[in-house]
Amino acid sequence: MQQYSIFSLARNALSGHQNWSRAWRSPPLKERYDVIIIGAGGHGLATAYYLAKNHGITNVAVLERGWLGGGNIARNTVTIRSNYMRDESIPFYVKSVKLYEGLTRELNYNLMYSKRSMIDVVQTYPKLREIKRRMFNGDLHGSVYERINVDELRRRIPPLTGGGPDSRLPIIAGMVHPSAAVCRHDAVAWSYARAADDRGVEIHQNTEVMKLLRDANSGRISGVETSRGNIYADKVAVVVSGHTTSITDTIDLKLPIKSFNLTAFVSEPVKPIIDVVVNCPDIGVYLSQSDKGELVIGGAPDAGQSFRRDIKQHVFEDSVCSLLELFPAFKRLKLMRQWGGTLDIAHDATPIVSQTDIQGLYVSAGWWGGFKAVPAGGYTLAHLIAKNEPHQLAAPFTLDRFKRLDFILEAGTTTVT
C-alpha cells in the first residue's frame, strides 16, 4: 500500500500527480470466495479490513450494487459518540469511539478526525431526567456525560441565542459528552477499502445481489445470485443497512426490522462559529460544523417506511424552523444541499450483529445511526464471521434476544426520535 505522507505528496507533486497508485483494484470476479460481504459501505468495508487484519482471512469479496461508499456512509451527519442508555450498548460504542481515535494512523489516511464534544440542549424536564439517567449509566461504563448550566452552555455555543426565558421552551440545562467527534465520512469508506484491498480483499462495485442461495440438501447458505452471475461462499454477511430485509426476504428469513428515510442538509461554508456537536432533542434538530465550514444539520426521520432517499419539503421546513428557534442568527444562512438515506431500526432500537438460523449467513443491521459504530461494527462482525462466536462487546446484539423476548430498549439515544 502506497504510504501517504508529506513526502509522497511532495514527490508526486513534482511529477504532476500522475503516479499515484490506485487506492483499490477492480479485479476480475471469481466464482468462489471464503467470505462474501454484501455491501461496500462503512460496516461492510470495515468488516473486510478486520477479517484480513485480525483474522488473516483475505479470500473475501465485498459486493456493492452501486458505487463504493454510496450508501449511508455517504449520507450521515458524521457524529461519533458513545452516550447511549443501556449497559449492553455503551461499552460497544466506547470501543468504537476509541477505534476512531487511532484510525487515521492505523489506516494511513487523513480522516479529518476532529474531537469536538457533543452538547445536548435540554428544554424539558422529562428529557433532562432521561439524559441524567444516561449520564449515570455512562459513568458505569466509562462514557462521560456531564451536566452544565445554561450560562456555560451559551458560552460554549455563542450563536445559540434563542431559548431564553420568554421563549416557547426555555433552555433548562446542557449535557456535555466530551468524547464526541466528527470526521470525513467518505474517508472512512475509502481508507478501509484501501487497507482491505491492500491485504487481498476484493471489492466489486456494480455487482448487485439479487438473492441469497441455499444448498438444496443441507439448507445452509451456499452463495449469492448477482447481476454478474452466481458467486459461491460458505460464509455470507448481509451488511446493507436499510435494504437488509430486501435481501433476507429472498430466502424467507424474517427479521425484526423496519426501514425509514432520514434526511439531512448542509449550509454554505461559513467561518468557524460552532466547535461542538449540538443536539436539541426536545425540538428535534442537531448540527455541527465541518472542517470545511459547512453547518451539517439533521432532524427527525420521515413518517412511514421509505426507501426513497429524498427530501420532503415539510420535514425540511420543520428542521429549519426548529433550528431557527434556538439559532435565530442562522436565518441568513444559505442552505446548499439536502439528501436522504435509508435507516433500518430493529424492534427494540438496538443493533443486530448475528448469525442466523441459516448456517453460514450473518447479518449486521438495525444500526439506526451506524456511522459512529463503523469501526466496532466491523471489528465485532469480523470476529463473529471468523470464529462463529460473538465478540464479547457485540454478544448482546445477536438475534437470540428476540427469541427470549429480552429486548434492549434504546429508543431516544439513537437519532432524534
Partner 1 sequence: MLKISCPFCGPRNEVEFAHGGPLKDRRPENASPLEDQAWIEYLTVPQNPLGPVQERWWHVRGCGSWFTITRDTRSHDIIDNGNKS
Residues of the shown chain interacting with partner 1 in the complex, contacts defined by CB under 8 A: 243, 245-246, 249, 254-259, 303-308, 312-314, 344, 347, 402-403, 405
Nearest-approach distance from CB 203 to partner 1, in angstroms: 24
Nearest-approach distance from CB 310 to partner 1, in angstroms: 9
Nearest-approach distance from CB 67 to partner 1, in angstroms: 20
Task: Report residue 414 CA to chain centroid gap.
Answer: 11
Which residues have a Cβ under 8 Å from the Cβ of 189 and sit 6 or more positions away?
40, 41, 42, 45, 68, 69, 73, 74
Nearest-approach distance from CB 257 to partner 1, in angstroms: 6
- Per DSSP bridges, beta strands 118-122 and 277-280 are parallel
Dihedral angle over CA of 191, 63, 310, 374, nearest 10 = -40
Judged by beta carbon, residue 141 or residue 312, the one nearer partner 1 is 312
Nearest-approach distance from CB 304 to partner 1, in angstroms: 5
Q: Quick one: cell of 282?
A: 426536545
Judged by beta carbon, residue 256 or residue 293, the one nearer partner 1 is 256
Contact 118/180 with Cβ under 8 angstroms? yes
Q: Is the dihedral of CA 175, 43, 297, 288 positive or negative?
A: positive
Which residues have a Cβ under 8 Å from the Cβ of 238 and sit 6 or more positions away?
38, 39, 212, 244, 247, 248, 361, 362, 363, 364, 365
Nearest-approach distance from CB 111 to partner 1, in angstroms: 33
Judged by beta carbon, residue 194 or residue 243, the one nearer partner 1 is 243
Judged by beta carbon, residue 306 or residue 319, the one nearer partner 1 is 306
What's the one-letter identity of residue 205?
A: Q
Judged by beta carbon, residue 278 or residue 346, the one nearer partner 1 is 346
Judged by beta carbon, residue 5 or residue 305, the one nearer partner 1 is 305
